[in-house]
Chain A
Amino acid sequence: MESGVPLLEIRNLHAGIDGNQILNGIDIEIGPGEIHAIMGRNGSGKTTTANIVMGHPDFDVESGEIKLNGKDLLELESWERAKEGVFLSFQYPQAVPGLQVGNFLKKSVASINGEEAAKGKKFRELLKNSMKELNMPSSFLSRYVNDGFSGGEKKRFEILQMMLLQPQLAILDETDSGLDIDGIRTVATGINSSIRGTDSGALIITHYSRILDYIKPDKIHVLIDGKIVATGDATLATDLEENGYDWLEEKVRRGGD
C-alpha cells in the first residue's frame, strides 16, 4: 500500500433518509492496522454511518466523500464495496430461511475472495478454527442463516463471517449488545486477531465501554446529532461510562453559542 493513504477516509459527510438529515458533516480517518470506535446515544447517527459506508440504498448522501485506500466508495454498490474489502457486522442481522450457513459462507467467500479461497483444505481449516475460537459447534453449519438464532448466536455468526471474509475494513455495529461478558470477550478476541498486526482496520460502534476494555481502540469518536463532537483515546470511553453524555452535550451547546 502507498504510504500516507489512509485505509478509510470519511470527509464532511452529510446524509439522510426520506428527506430527514441525519449526518451533519462527519470526518473520520482510519489508518492501516488501527481500530477506532464511535460512541453515542441512540439516534445520534452511528448506525446510519455504518450503513452508508456499506452502501445501504435507502440512504441519500448529500455531500462529502468516503474513500477506501483512496478509492471512492460512493460510486460503488454495496456488493462491490464488499469486494473492495468493506465488511459490516449488522446490529440486526437478517434471517434467510432455507439458506444453510455452510453454503452461505462458502458462496460469500467465493464471491469476495474468489472461488479458490472457498475451496479445499485451507478454507476448511480456517472455518474449523474460527468456529472453535467462537465456541460454535459444527452443527451450526447446517442451520439456516440467522433463522431462529438467539441474539448471541447472531452476533457470533457475524464475527465468524468477518473472520472468513478477512476484510480490509470491518465495521461492527453494536456487535457487543445482547452478549454476556464471555460473549464479549470471545468477540473481542476475534476482532483483535483479525485486525491487529495486519493492514486492515476496524470501526466499532457501541453504547458501552466494556468491549473497548478488551479491544483498546486507537481512537474514540463521540457522535451527537450527526456530528463528531469529541475525539480522544481510550480514556474518553471511561469518562463517558462514568459521566454520561450530558457534559459533552453541554459543552457542544456552549461551543455553539
Chain B
Amino acid sequence: MESTQEARDVVGDYKAGWHDTENSTIRFDSGLSEKVVRDISKIKNEPEWMTEIRVKAYKHFSEREMPTWGNMSMLEQIDFEKVCYYLRSSSATENDWDEVPEEIRNTFERLGIPEAEQKWLSGVTAQYESEAVYHSIREDLVSQGVIFLDMDSGLKEYPDIVKKWFCSVVPYSDNKFSALNTAVWSGGSFIYVPKGVHVEMPVQAYFRINAKNMGQFERTLIIADEGSSIHYVEGCTAPTYSTDSLHSAVVELVALPGSHIRYSTVQNWSANVYNLVTKRGIAHENAKIEWVDGNIGSKLTMKYPSVILKGEGSHAEVISVAYSGNGQHQDAGAKIHHLASNTTSKILSKSISKDGGRGSYRGMVTVSPKAENCKLNIVCDALILDDESRSDTYPTMEVANSTARCEHEASVSKVSDDQLFYLMSRGHTEEEALALIVNGFFEPFTRELPMEYAVELNKLMALEMEGSIG
C-alpha cells in the first residue's frame, strides 16, 4: 500500500479518496492482448457472438490511432500495458445487501448507497471494479415487466434483446475508446422498459474503482419501448492513488417512438482517473432523450453525450457542467444530429476553471438536408476563477437545411471583487461567497438533478472552494 501523502502530492485532497485493502478473487495481469479479451469472455461464459465482437473490437483498438484532438499530451501518458483489465472482488452479484462482502459493503455504506435506495430509488446497482456486486429493483416494476440488471446478467438472461441492440448505437469502430470498451467491457446496466410503462422514481447505478491501475469498462444499454419513460442516475468515485486509472465506458440509449429517457451523471472520479466515455442515444418519432451530465472529478475527461434525432418530432437535451481544478482538463460538450424534420435540441454547457484547470466545450450540431423546420438552441457559459485557469470553446454547426432555426450564445465571466464583497458583507466568508457564486452558476444544472444529488453536488463544490483563497 502506498502512502496517502504520496497520493495527495499528486492529486490533492479528495473526499472519496480512501480505499479498502484490495481483496480480489480474480485479478488479471496488467496488459492487453487477444488472449486477455478471450479470457474475459470465457470467465463470463459468454455466447460465441459476443466473444467474436470483443475480438474484432480489440483488433480495431490495436490499429486505431489516438484521437488527434482533446488533450493529446495527456492521452499519450496512458500506458495501456499497465492497466488491469479485469478484476473481480466478489464472486456473485447479490440482491440481498447483507450478502455483499463486508469490505465492499462498507465502501458503499460510506457513500450512502443503501440509504438512498430505501428513500428515493426504484432500483439500484453497485459496481465495484469490473463486476456488479449488488443489485435490486422494486417488485412492482418487475411485475410490470421492467428489466433492470447488470449488463452481464442481461446478456445471460436476455441474449436476444442484447444481441439486437448491442453496438447498434455506438459501433465498436466509432472511436479508439469505444473499441477498447467493446473488447473488454464488464458490468454496467441493462434496462428495458416495456411499452407505456413509466418508471416514476429514478434507478441508480453506482460505480467505484478501488484498486490502483484499474481499468473500469462498464457497458450500459437502455431501451425504452414505445411511450415509456425512465430516469437513470449514475455516480462515480475512486480512491486517490499516485498512479492513474482508466475509466472508459460506453452507454447506448434507444428511445423508441414517444418514449422519454433521462440519463443523469455526477462524475467525481479522483484526479488520477482518465475518463474517456462514449455516450449516445437514438431518438425515434416523438421520443425525447436528455443527458444531464456533471463532471467534477477525473484527470482528463473527454465526453460528448450525443443524440441522433432519427424520428420526426424527436427532442434532445444535453445539460452539462464541468469543474476543472488543478491538473484537470474537462473536455466535454455535446453532439446532436438532426436527421428528421421537426426535431428540436437544446444544449446548455457550463464550465468552471480554477487553480490552473482547463475547461473546454466541444460541440457539434448538424442538420441534414432533408430535415425541415428543426430548432437548435446552444448556450455555453464559462466562469474562470483565476488568471492561471483556462476555458476554450469549440462549437461546430453544420446546417444543411435553410428552414432550421439556430440560436447560439456564449459567455465567459470572472468573479469580481465587488461580487465577493457584496456577499461577504452579508456574513459569508470569502470561500462561502465563492461557493454561493459557483453553485449559482451551476444552478440551471443542479435543478435538473434529483434533490439528493443536487445537495451533494453543492457540498462538493463548497469543498472545492475551500482553501482556494490566497
Chain A positions within 8 Å of B, measured between CB atoms, are: 51, 54-58, 77-79, 81-83, 86-88, 90, 92-100, 104, 107-108, 111-112, 144-145, 161, 165
B78 to chain A, nearest CB (A): 36
Known: A57-B417, A79-B429, A107-B428. A97 touches B441 (CB 8 A): yes
A79 to B469: give the CA distance in the assembly, Å. 15
Docked-complex contact B427 and A97, CB < 8 angstroms: no
- In the complex, the chain A residue whose C-beta lies closest to that of B444 is A98
> What distance in Å separates the Cβ of A101 from its nearest Cβ neighbour in chain B?
11
Given contacts A57-B417, A58-B417, contact A96 B437 (CB under 8 A): yes
Assess whether B436 is interfacial by the CB under 8 Å rule. yes
Main secondary structure of the interface of B (DSSP, over half): helix
CB neighbours (8 Å) of B424 from chain A are 55, 77-79, 82
Known: A57-B421, A78-B421, A95-B419. 8 other contacts (CB 8 A): A54-B421, A55-B425, A79-B425, A93-B422, A94-B423, A96-B437, A99-B436, A144-B443
Secondary structure call for the A interface:
mixed
- A237 to chain B: closest CB distance in Å? 27
Who on chain B is nearest to A105 by CB?
B426
Residues of A within 8 A of B444 (CB): 98
Q: Are A96 and B425 in contact (CB under 8 A)?
A: no
Chain B contacts for A97, CB-based, 8 A: 440-441, 443
Residue contacts A-B, CB under 8 angstroms, 8 given: A79-B425, A79-B427, A79-B428, A79-B432, A83-B427, A90-B425, A96-B419, A98-B444
Nearest-neighbor residue (CB-CB) of A90 within chain B: B422
User: Contact between B427 and A112 (Cβ–Cβ < 8 Å)?
Assistant: yes
Q: Does B418 contact A (CB under 8 A)?
A: yes
Please tell me if the beta carbons of A96 and B436 are within 8 angstroms of each other in the complex.
yes
CB of A108 within 8 A of CB of B440, answer no
Q: Give the residues in chain A near B421, CB-CB below 8 Å.
A: 51, 54, 56-57, 78, 94
Q: Is B428 in contact with A54, judged by CB distance below 8 angstroms?
A: no
Docked-complex contact A78 and B425, CB < 8 angstroms: yes
Quick one: which of B422, B429, B436 has the most chain A CB within 10 A?
B422
Q: Are A107 and B441 in contact (CB under 8 A)?
A: no
Residue of chain B at shortest CB distance from A87: B425
B426 adjacent to A98 (CB under 8 Å): no
Encode B385-424 as 1/0 by CB contact (under 8 A) with A. Answer: 0000000000000000000000000000000111101111
